[in-house]
Structure 1
Amino acid sequence: MTQTKFDPDVLNLTKPEILNFCDRVLKKWNKDPTANAQNILAMNAVKTSILWTDDQSLKAIWGEIIQWTFELLYENAMAKEDKEWANTMKKLKK
């Protein structure tokens, strides 16, 4: 049996699993639909785009999102000027 190397930057989720994630977020936001109206609208747009996107493009797009997650967390920490958190994220990135 040949084992393939796991690559955390490659999307392994299926389209239904991504949509399920979106539905879980919507369920949370729908607990207070007035406060989350814009978010709900935006997430429904995300869901629609996922439904219309072919699997190859979906893997490319979400693969990039996954790949850049730590970079975005680091940049976000730096923007807040929370040096302790930023240094922790920098260590994780390496």
Structure 2
Amino acid sequence: KMLPHFHTAKLSREDCHYLFPNTFFVAEKIAKLLVEWGARIGIVTLAEKGAVIATSKDVFTIPAFTDRSIDCTGAGDAFAAGFLFSYHRERDV
């Protein structure tokens, strides 16, 4: 009921396992499902494997940076901030 009020919905891999227990995890399907349920953009972040981003027209797989991380605290928040900043400037996924 809430997703039509969201422009962008982002879930982590852990969020997906919590929200969809006992379901075979396929990031592309969940990102598309977020869009089908009303969000304009659906994102599933996959830690070291990058992210999957879905719109009503396309599904993109974005690789993660290959730098060695020291601490991943706040990585999802940093991803969301960077994505939203870039989208706001470019208006394109």
Q: Provide the TM-score with structure 1 as the length reference.
A: 0.34
| Higher-strand-fraction structure | 2
Q: Provide the TM-score with structure 2 as the length reference.
A: 0.34
